[in-house]
Every structure is written in structure tokens, then in C-alpha cells.
Amino acid sequence: MFPNENSISTIRQLFAELKNYLELQKEYTKTEATEKLTILLSTLILVLLAAMLGMMALFYLSFTLAFVLAPAVGGLIGSFGLIAAFHALLLGLLVRFRKPLIVTPVLRLIAKLFLDKQN
């Protein structure tokens, strides 16, 4: 009925192995989370930089277009107003279609990154 010395030693080894396994799982989870957060943050930085450069290009192209349209519209004020109306239309379309253009791709990226077991 009483456990012998061999079984107590085996139970101690089992607990030591279990503790070692849990420590390794903890380290693996930390490493995996770090990798995925690095990918997520680098993608965010890339998108922000591309958006900033795109806005700068759009700014200069808008001025160029305004000066090109000025003779056809009848002056700079009308051409700048036309460009502003076009940008307002683009903003309205972006707000209207924000779910398929912004929310869904971001959701897919995050779901693929954190839920995909193949990576």
C-alpha cells in the first residue's frame, strides 16, 4: 500500500519534467508573440510612411492640376475649388466604403497573423 522509493522518485521526475515543459511553453509563447507583434508593427510603420509620402505627392499633384486647370476654369480660385471638391468626394467615398477598404483587410491581416497555425 505504501509507495516505494522508486515511485516517489518517478513522481518527482515527472513534476520536474512538467515544470520544464511549462517553462519552455512560456518562452515559446513569448517568442511567438514577439515575432507577430514585430510583423504587425513593421506593417503599420510601412503603411504610415506610404500614406505620408502619398499625401505629399497628392499635395503637389493637386497644386499642379490646379495651375493646369486655371485657364480652363477661369482662374486659380475656381481650379482650387474644383480640386477641393474632388478631394472631398474622395474623402466621402473613403468614409462610405471604409469597411471593405480598411477594416476588412486589417482584420484579415491580424487574423492571419495571430490565428494561422501554419506560420
Mean pLDDT per 10-residue segment, the chain (119 residues): 68 91 95 92 94 95 94 91 94 95 90 77
pTM above 0.75, yes or no: no
CA atoms within 13 A on the CB side of 74: 2
pLDDT score of 56 = 96
pLDDT score of 59 = 94
pLDDT score of 3 = 59
Grid cell digits, residue 12: 518527482
pLDDT score of 83 = 94
DSSP secondary structure letter of residue 99: I
pLDDT score of 2 = 53
**Is the CB of residue 76 less than 8 Å from the CB of residue 67?**
yes
The domain tally of the chain equals 1
pLDDT score of 1 = 47
pLDDT score of 98 = 94
pLDDT score of 114 = 84
Which of 113, 116, 118, 95 has the alpha carbon at shortest distance from 34?
113
Query: What is the domain range of residue 111?
Result: 5-115
pLDDT score of 84 = 94
